[in-house]
Amino acid sequence: MIGHPFIELQSVDSTNNYAMAQVHAGLAFHGTTYFSYEQLNGRGQRGKSWVTKPGENITMSILLEPDFLRPMQQFILSASIARGSYDFLIKYFPDDWYIKWPNDLYWRDRKAGGILIESICKGDKWLFAVVGMGININQTRFPADISRAISLKQITGKTYEVKKLAMELCNSIGTIYEQLRNEDYDKIIESYNECLYKRNELVRLKKGNIIFETTIKEVTAQGQLITVNGMERSFDLSEIEWVFDE
């Protein structure tokens, strides 16, 4: 079961780094979850840092053994984790949650959480996936350069027991992980697209030095973003960036 064992750490540089070290030492197995009250050097997508106030947010890494998938199917795992996280969040506030491609968790136009998956593969066999998760729970003040951050407490006005919510998040991810094991890939991608941020809306994206407007259509099972602007176009994550008004 995901979240068993649930290992509490007082402070680490990064829960993903810690989990990866445990894997290489042969001390971890599927479902093991490392939850830390303080993360000194959390990491996000594209080499960005994940800044969090000690004791106020979910910072954890889940170890999975997705040996029923091939490494090239990483996005279907990413989509599953994102959708499981979305299902967890709507239990506490049912409206205005979205998954921003590829796997950020947004409330309206503000970021509440993110996911970073790192893999250990051998040939075409996927041995381990370390799923790092950061979700803002009780923090109400963020650094000035993180203007788009928001927490569950800011949304609901309530204070939460972070460890309890982290364990509930494990259960939510476990539920959709079983769908993944059962090869319900189409259903997972469909449910992912149902809550896709800015779907059917005009957005601004940046490719190289060019900023352009286009309409978000959907995301494929391979993780490509499909947009429409007179004609359909597809983009890999490394190709484009979102452009937001400050």
Backbone angles phi, psi at 120, to 5 degrees: -120, 115
pLDDT for the residue numbered 146: 77
d(CA 9, CA 84) in angstroms, rounded, equals 24
What is the pLDDT of the chain when averaged over all its residues? 93
Would the CA dihedral through 193, 210, 207, 209 be positive or negative? negative
Helix axes 74-89, 185-194, angle to 10 degrees: 50
Residues 6+ apart with CB under 8 A from 153: 137, 138, 139, 140, 159, 160
End-to-end CA distance of the chain: 42
* Residues of the chain above pLDDT 70, percent: 95
Residues 220 and 238: beta-carbon distance below 8 Å: no
Closest C-alpha among 214, 185, 215 to residue 199: 215
* Beta-carbon-side half-sphere exposure of residue 162 (alpha carbons within 13 Å): 22
How many CB atoms are located within 10 Å of the residue 8 CB? 13
> Average pLDDT for residues 4-27, to the nearest whole number?
95
Tell me which DSSP letter residue 86 carries.
H
Residues 14-25 have pLDDT tens digits of 999 999 999 999
Residues 185-214 have pLDDT tens digits of 999 999 999 999 999 999 999 999 999 999
Inform me whether the pLDDT recorded for 183 exceeds 60.
yes
Q: What angle do CA 164, 84, 51 make, to 5 degrees?
A: 65
Residues 131-178 have pLDDT tens digits of 999 999 999 998 877 778 999 999 999 999 999 999 999 999 999 999
Residues 33-58 have pLDDT tens digits of 999 999 886 555 544 555 678 899 99
Q: What angle do CA 147, 172, 199 make, to 5 degrees?
A: 50
Supply the pTM of this predicted model.
Answer: 0.93
Residue with more model confidence, 237 or 46: 237
Residues 85 and 113: beta-carbon distance below 8 Å: yes
